[in-house]
Amino acid sequence: MKVLMTEYLRINLDTENWECRVCDHVVGSASKGYKEGMLVYNRDPREIHPPIIDPDKYRFTFSPDPEWVRILEYYCPSCGTMVETEYAIPGHPPLLDMEPDLPALKAQWAQRDEVKETVVGPAVLPDQGHNH
Amino acid sequence: MKQTATQVPARKPSAEEMKLIKKFLSDNTLFLGPDPEIMQNHDLMPRTALEEESINKVSDAHTIAKIRDRLQSGCDEGYEMVEQMGAAPGAKWGDVITGVYSASGDLAIASAGGVLIFSALVHHPIKFIIKNWMKDPTVGVREGDGFIHNDSRYGNVHNTDQSMILPIFHDGKLVCWVASTVHEGENGAIEPGGMPSMAESPCDEGLKMSPFKVVENYEIKRDILTFLQNSVREPKLQYEDMKVKLFACLRIKQRIEETLNSDGPEALVSTLRLTMENVRAEVKRRISEWPDMTVRTYIIQDSTLRENCVVKVNCKLTKTGDRLIFDFRGSAPEFTNRPTNTIVAGLKGMLAQVFLCYVWPDLPRGQAAFAPIEVITDPHSIVNCSYAAPNSQSLMSIFTGFTAGQHAVAKFLYSCPEKYTKVHAPTFNMINTFIWGGVSQHGETLGNLCADLNGMGAGATVDRDGEHALAPIFATMADIGEQELNEEDVPFLQLVSKKMTRDAIAPGKYRGGQGYTMIVATKDSEQWGFMTTCQGAKIPPLQGLFGGYACGAYPLSKVKGVDVYDILLNEPAKFRHSIEEIMNDQPFEGASYTTYHMGMGFEISKRGELFMISQGAGAGYGDLLERDPAGVVRDIEEGLISPAVAERLYKVQFDPQTLAINQEATAAAREAERKARKARGVPFSEFIKQWNKPTPPAHLQYFGCWGDDVGKLYMGSADQSHHADQPRPNYMRHPKDVRIEELEARLAALGALEDEKK
């Protein structure tokens, strides 16, 4: 059975591996962080959040300061999907952001049917009003 | 004479002696400060004998539901009254709430609209009243009494919010409490508007109302009222809103009495108790459906509002079985002389909003939904500050704490088959608005803020873009108000208002909802000024979700040496309608154009000078290369993003004139970008060898833990730290002293200070 953990990642409970949901690539052991199986790119935040006012004239420009924060981009090494981003202080060790308890996950899903498509959740519908 | 000390074994006092000691200490307490027993506990009080007895008599689910709905309607009615009649701008735009509390003080039911965190914290002052005033012969709690409160250290977000609290009796017996809370604004602090960022100690924060009696026989006591009015800049506001809150409470009391008369006191008491117990049990059940997991995140505050620095809010969220534990250890130590600290109850109240506004909005709004969730913090930290630390800008820490919680929770929710809302990227979390004050065009002394703080951009969700300028994270049903109405009372205009700030984006498969530009200029007063109290001019205060990006940064821009009203009258073509154009084109000759971080202390403005800011965007969701090209073009058409930026980021190929999408070229460009990612990305194990550093960077003033070592908290530099359980004072220097020192060093280097006597 496979459990959809994020938009782009699932855990294969039989093999206990993280897998890419886009290309089925086996990312790595789910007893470790999925980031360990990713490619990482240290992105200058100005490339994503462009200066709106002239950086040659002004100290603050609507762009994050690249000496204060970087964007770590995590890519699937097989299909190149950007699985996660992390706004990080320069040099701060990447976070082990998702650390599932595999035996508990297996026990939980032993009671459930496999879910193969994203469960979106309830839509907000217009109030039907009170009527009899 | 030689004396020898003889060791005498300690004798354990008898039960009678202990009682006497306890009574002595109780009778001789010199100051009834905030009670840690009350302030550290957010769980429900134990079931009382009266509640037990009432539940034994009335527990029919239909009766309970009927009475709960009546009480809910009563709260909503009270809420409407405050919103319609309140004088505070915050009241008019929904920054209020009402609630019914159990006899023990727990919030059972809150109004459907308004700021839940307000009422979620009022149980603390009610419990203070119960513990200290109920049996005190000099105070007492009687029918017709009303208590006022604002001091955050006794249970409040910040001192700008004021509560009116009424006990409700039936046949002489206390059956419950009602309360109404409003973001009042002005409170007599060192800066107008009630949220001073210049406060360096609690004594700079204005009114410090511990819970005290201000109403007897349902009448406001005029002597105390006059004292309060005399302590603030807006005496009429103080009076009017105390009356409004009192009458809202009396309306809810009327509805409760109708229930008491029709169903009896047991039904009321049982309804309040069972509502809370059932919600608490349901929350445990829902948590048990989440995956057992630990999620880690952190949010960075990039200033204290006085100076830029790096302040970490560290969050580890662990779910085991039906337990959910927020661990904020490793967050920055509290600042001894900066007001961005929060009491831990404020953090908890805001985390409660994550659940009741964004995860389980179907649950009855009250204290119970967060009651079983655990929170761990370091003592004297920025998210659990001490009594002596200023906290008038606690929003900075409770909002970034909220975002850490919202970001972490989303990673649990994705795999749950049963959902109550959609998985949601973080919503923007800073109060990007103008706080204002001075003497108005009508000669009134005022101090308050624009409701634009309520226009935070929403985070994107699993299947749609975030909504623009939707609602504040603290009140999902609040409004951003009508600026034109505001302008009748205040001597400034928003010359540009509610216009989306182009390219201030949070890209993703689904992009974040965007924020809008605000450009203000004083017009009809020589005694008027502004302040802004936000972080995020250097580091975004959000994280993106599942490959989505956070928002960018948001600065303050000023144009001085110009009277823009003269320009509009004589040379209107010179005016521009965006920060981008005004700052880049510099259309007003002779004017100065400058930028700052968003912690502007109160500053007097001259007629026609421009102060310009933007509300922020919620975070994006998913890989931006998966965004529907039509959505990208729609964003261009709506002025959210410029064509060049859209093309560069989203790799969408379109005709620059018609914006017609070339689907094939777009697919090819995106495929090329995926290949480029694989070429430039570095395997994780290689990457961390280059990237990871053992300590915070030398060029940043850094506060909080580094990496996973939550036991060591840095205090401004790599060589200054303390152990997390051994807090030390954490003083910041006056920014002007720092600047003077820098300039003097430059002068000294040039030899200009050689003759100066030391």
DSSP B249-307: HHHHHHHHHHHHHHH-HHHHHHHHHHHHHHHHHHHHHHHHTSPSEEEEEEEEEEE-SSS
Tell me whether A24 touches chain B (CB under 8 Å).
no
pLDDT band per the 50, 70, 90 thresholds, residue B4 = low
Q: Which of B727, B11, B726, B714 is nearest to B309 (CA)?
A: B714
Tell me whether B639 touches chain A (CB under 8 Å).
no
CB contact under 8 A, B503 and A50: yes
Contact status, residue B585 vs residue B576, Cβ threshold 8 Å: yes
- B618-655 per-position pLDDT tens digit: 999 999 999 999 999 999 999 999 999 999 999 999 99
Residue B53 CA to residue B66 CA, distance in Å, equals 20
Rounded to 5°, angle at Cα B231 from B433 and B166:
85
- The helix (H) or strand (E) run that includes residue B83 is helix B61-85
B580 class by beta-carbon count within 10 Å (0-12 exposed, 13-18 middle, 19+ buried): buried
What b/e sequence results for B54-88 when a residue is b if at least 16 CB atoms lie within 10 Å of its CB, and e otherwise? bbeebeeeeebebbbebbbebbbbbbbbbbebbbb
**Residue with tokens 């004594």, as numbered in its chain:** B203
Residue B176 CA to residue A42 CA, distance in Å, equals 57
Query: With 80 as the cut, is the pLDDT of residue B118 above it?
Result: no
| Per-residue confidence (pLDDT) for residue B394, from 0 to 100 | 97
Contact status, residue B168 vs residue B179, Cβ threshold 8 Å: no
- B297-317 per-position pLDDT tens digit: 999 999 999 999 999 999 999
What is the percent of chain B where pLDDT is above 70?
A: 99
Query: With 90 as the cut, is the pLDDT of residue B92 above it?
Result: no
B749 class by beta-carbon count within 10 Å (0-12 exposed, 13-18 middle, 19+ buried): exposed
> Is the model more confident about B479 or about A100?
A100
The β-bridge partners of A17 are A12, A29
| Per-residue confidence (pLDDT) for residue B481, from 0 to 100 | 78
pLDDT band per the 50, 70, 90 thresholds, residue B90 = confident
Task: With H, G, I as helix, E, B as strand and everything else as coil, classify residue B591.
Answer: coil
Q: Which of B134, B77, B381 is nearest to B248 (CA)?
A: B77
**ipTM exceeds 0.85, yes or no:** yes
Task: With H, G, I as helix, E, B as strand and everything else as coil, classify residue A20.
Answer: strand
Which chain A residues are within 8 Å of B645, Cβ to Cβ? 50
Span B34-62, average pLDDT: 96
Task: With H, G, I as helix, E, B as strand and everything else as coil, classify residue B152.
Answer: helix
Span B492-499, average pLDDT: 94
Contact status, residue A104 vs residue B578, Cβ threshold 8 Å: no
**Residue with tokens 């990482």, as numbered in its chain:** A40
| Per-residue confidence (pLDDT) for residue B544, from 0 to 100 | 98
Query: With 60 as the cut, is the pLDDT of residue B2 above it?
Result: no
Mutate to test the interface with B, among A3, A73, A92, A120 (most CBs of B within 10 A): A92
pLDDT band per the 50, 70, 90 thresholds, residue B407 = very high
Cβ contacts below 8 Å, chain A against chain B, sum to 256
- CA separation, residue B591 to residues B175, B526, B567, B662 (Å): 64, 19, 12, 45
Query: With 50 as the cut, is the pLDDT of residue B57 above it?
Result: yes
CB contact under 8 A, B622 and A7: yes
**Residue with tokens 């005016």, as numbered in its chain:** B575
Nearest Cα of chain A lies from the Cα of B450 at a distance, in angstroms, of: 22
Among B25-29, B65-69, B161-165, whose mean pLDDT is lowest? B25-29
| Per-residue confidence (pLDDT) for residue B477, from 0 to 100 | 77
CB atoms inside a 10 Å sphere around CB B741: 11
Question: Read out DSSP for B658-693?
Answer: T--B-HHHHHHHHHHHHHHHHHH-EEHHHHHHHH--
Tell me whether B504 touches chain A (CB under 8 Å).
yes
Tell me whether A52 touches chain B (CB under 8 Å).
yes
pLDDT band per the 50, 70, 90 thresholds, residue A41 = very high
The mean predicted confidence, pLDDT, of chain B is 95
B465 secondary structure, DSSP code: P
B34 contacts: CB under 8 Å, gap ≥ 6: B128, B151, B153, B154, B155, B387
Span B472-492, average pLDDT: 86
Q: What are phi and psi of B309, to 5 degrees?
A: -165, 175
Query: With 70 as the cut, is the pLDDT of residue A131 above it?
Result: no
Query: With 60 as the cut, is the pLDDT of residue B752 above it?
Result: yes
B296: nearest CB among A63, A74, A96? A96
A117 contacts: CB under 8 Å, gap ≥ 6: none
Q: Is beta strand B702-706 parallel, antiparallel or unpaired with respect to B308-320?
A: parallel
Question: Read out DSSP for B629-667?
Answer: HHHHHHHHHTTSS-HHHHHHHH---B-TTT--B-HHHHH
CB contact under 8 A, A6 and B297: no
Contact status, residue B190 vs residue B204, Cβ threshold 8 Å: yes
Contact status, residue B449 vs residue B193, Cβ threshold 8 Å: yes
- B176-230 per-position pLDDT tens digit: 999 999 999 889 999 988 999 999 999 999 999 999 999 999 999 999 999 999 9
| Per-residue confidence (pLDDT) for residue B65, from 0 to 100 | 95
| Per-residue confidence (pLDDT) for residue B478, from 0 to 100 | 78
Tell me whether A29 touches chain B (CB under 8 Å).
no
Q: What is the CA radius of gyration of chain A?
A: 20
Task: With H, G, I as helix, E, B as strand and everything else as coil, classify residue B374.
Answer: strand
Tell me whether A15 touches chain B (CB under 8 Å).
no
Span B354-368, average pLDDT: 93
| Per-residue confidence (pLDDT) for residue A130, from 0 to 100 | 66
Which chain B residues are within 8 Å of A35, Cβ to Cβ? 684
Span A122-130, average pLDDT: 74
Domain extent listing, chain B: 50-285, 289-421+692-758, 430-639
Cα dihedral B339→B345→B346→B352 (10° resolution): 160
Residue B659 CA to residue B106 CA, distance in Å, equals 57
CB contact under 8 A, A101 and B685: no
Query: With 70 as the cut, is the pLDDT of residue B331 above it?
Result: yes
Span B140-154, average pLDDT: 97
CB contact under 8 A, A89 and B700: yes
| Per-residue confidence (pLDDT) for residue A128, from 0 to 100 | 67
Which chain B residues are within 8 Å of A99, Cβ to Cβ? 293-296
- B376-393 per-position pLDDT tens digit: 999 999 999 999 999 999
- B655-714 per-position pLDDT tens digit: 999 999 999 999 999 999 999 999 999 999 999 999 999 999 999 999 999 999 999 999
- The helix (H) or strand (E) run that includes residue B108 is strand B107-110
Span A36-48, average pLDDT: 98
| Per-residue confidence (pLDDT) for residue B450, from 0 to 100 | 87
The β-bridge partners of B723 are B712
| Per-residue confidence (pLDDT) for residue B1, from 0 to 100 | 45
